[in-house]
Structure 1
């Protein structure tokens, strides 16, 4: 068993997901190509591709988060970084249920910008 010498422990810090990573995760879990997702979101392929690669961000990220929610069912709060864990997709969860399990998401946000209370 080898020991890594250049490992920096996170020491309690939880890595954050970027908007690009969140968009890519959901698109892949839905089984769509970038072109199909851009069509679903009603945006150009070049723009969507730039968002997913992290080269650019949507001009109105809140509006795009709403569209992602409409298309995927994943809460806009997760796309905006207000939820602290990613949706689980594909296969079954611990309870043998298929599809996305969203009830476990804890909503967090900057003080004064909390997302609306969930009715779930």
Structure 2
């Protein structure tokens, strides 16, 4: 994670790997649990969260659904627009949201 200065403020800049980890933690899932849901290895999950490897878009979309966060936020760090565009991208791929 890097930071930038804006008008004297320090503003954190979250990377994709940071957002993946945060989404998993907020969903109260371990790396092993999300690996099972996504049908990946725990090592692969760790490599995504450390920034060692970048996941394909399909993995990011599945991660979003598994953790109930908007895919747009995972991809860009920006809050989705009110029209729900970020959610519709994931639903378009035929994935269903995780129920808690």
TM superposition score category, shorter chain reference: 0.5 to 0.7
Contact 2:35 2:41 in 1 (8 A): yes
Superposed, 1:48-59 pairs within 5 Å as 48-58=45-55
Q: Is the helix fraction higher in 1 or 2?
A: 2
Conserved in 2, the CA contact under 8 Å of 1:17 and 1:81?
Answer: no
Matched, 1:20 2:17: yes
1:31 maps to what in 2? 28
For normalisation by structure 1, the TM-score amounts to 0.56
| Among 19, 38, 42, the residue aligned to 1:41 | 38
Q: Could you tell me the TM-score, scaled by structure 2's length?
A: 0.66
Which of residues 3, 6, 14 is equivalent to 1:11?
6
Residues 44-82 of structure 1 deviation map (CA, whole Å, 9 limit, x = unaligned): 111111111111111x2x111210122122111011115
Specify every segment of 5 or more residues in structure 2 that has no aligned partner in the other structure, as ranges.
88-100
Unaligned 5+ segments in structure 1 are 1-7, 84-104, 108-116
Higher strand content, 1 or 2: 2
Query: Secondary structure of the residue that 1:27 maps to in structure 2?
Result: helix
The runs of 4+ residues in structure 1 deviating greater than 6 Å are none
Higher relative contact order (CA 8 A, sep 6+): 2
Bigger Cα Rg: 1
